[in-house]
Amino acid sequence: MNAGDVRNISVVGAGLMGHGIAQEFALAGFRVFLHDVNDEKLARAEENIGRNLGMLSAMGLVTGDAAGTLRSNLTLGTGLAEAVAGADVVIEAAFENLTLKQELFRGMDRAAPPHAILASNTSTLLPGALASATHRPDKVLVAHYFNPPYLLPLVELVRHDGTSDETVRVMFDLLTKAGKSPVILRKEAPGFIGNRLQAALFREALSIVEQGIASAADVDTVIKNGFGRRLAAAGVFEIWEIAGWDLVMAICENLFPSLESGSAVSRVLKEKVDRGDLGTKTGKGFYEWTPESIDALKKRIAKMLVTIAQEQQGGHGITGINHLNAGRKEIGRR
């Protein structure tokens, strides 16, 4: 199978990530079946997709015609077998629980066509553990999106020892065609690339707060108004190439010994969880939250992501939205 043969995509799990993944493929002209366990969750997914389209439309990134195309390409349902029966590619986006995901992969394996690729959007579980629940380990891999998937172009493709080169190639080409920026990990590793890097930064940020060096708000200010702005334009290796590796080595020799390297969860984080200060979901974390401030934060993040994407028009733009018309025409000719 080649990426050009892929017409039908099933997304299993309509929550935080799943509805956005389904939305993006449907906008790109693919026939998409979005599955979840009950009608209430599917109704919520429809509301979220409508809200996303409203935001993208207000920013001039999608048209009314595009929204109509999405709705005509999208089917929702609660039957897993029905959802994957005609799929060329299945992307699982259920809750991060190995037992649950293995059960889903067993069901997907039974009901999906023999040629179908089974991918998981897991951010922490290794693909080998999911492949072991199927009779097609060569067609199983991780396709890890970042939130929100319709605004962030990155997808990490993680293979296990038994994943075929063809499976990786088809997924890479399919995602590229849909306007994403996929990367391929050379081997399985917990956290893949993105979450390993994010966790390392977060561990040091927590340590800075725990040691009383700075407040959480000041740490965020340093990231937002300092190196975080550079990282939108250039990666860490590109940035340090400019500085020169002799200077970088001198910095590392002086700084690395004082950086946090412990394997235990931060005390300050554990205290927050023990108190029930879970962030926006409870109204308090390191900050105090109201419905208005939560909405403002989400809009600020979305607006900045769109602005960055528009500045990168030479690349993929807003995760494929710049390619939608061409994609729909191409798929329509098949």
Distance CA(14)–CA(66), nearest Å, equals 21
Residue 144 annotated in active site: yes
**Distant-in-sequence, close-in-space partners of 165: CB < 8 Å, separation ≥ 6:** none
Query: Angle, to 10 degrees, between the axis of helix 216-225 and the axis of helix 194-210?
Result: 130
Q: Which of 24, 123, 207, 323 is catalytic?
A: 123
Q: Which of 57, 164, 181, 195 is catalytic?
A: 195
**Coil/strand/helix, residue 189:** coil
Give the H or E element holding residue 129.
helix 127-131
**Distant-in-sequence, close-in-space partners of 69: CB < 8 Å, separation ≥ 6:** 26, 27, 29, 328
**What does the DSSP 8-state code read for residue 152?**
-
Residue 135 annotated in active site: no
Q: Which of 156, 188, 207, 316 is catalytic?
A: 156
Give one DSSP letter per residue of 64-95, joined into a string: HHHHHHHHHHEEEES-HHHHHTT-SEEEE---
Distance CA(94)–CA(230), nearest Å, equals 34
Residue 123 annotated in active site: yes
Distance CA(318)–CA(310), nearest Å, equals 7
Distance from CA of residue 126 to its chain's centroid? 16
Match 């108190």 to its residue by tokens: 275
Among 146, 136, 145, smallest CA distance to 87 is for 136
Residue 330 annotated in active site: no
Among 108, 98, 96, 103, smallest CA distance to 11 is for 108
Q: Which of 19, 35, 144, 323 is catalytic?
A: 144
Active site residues: 123, 144, 156, 195
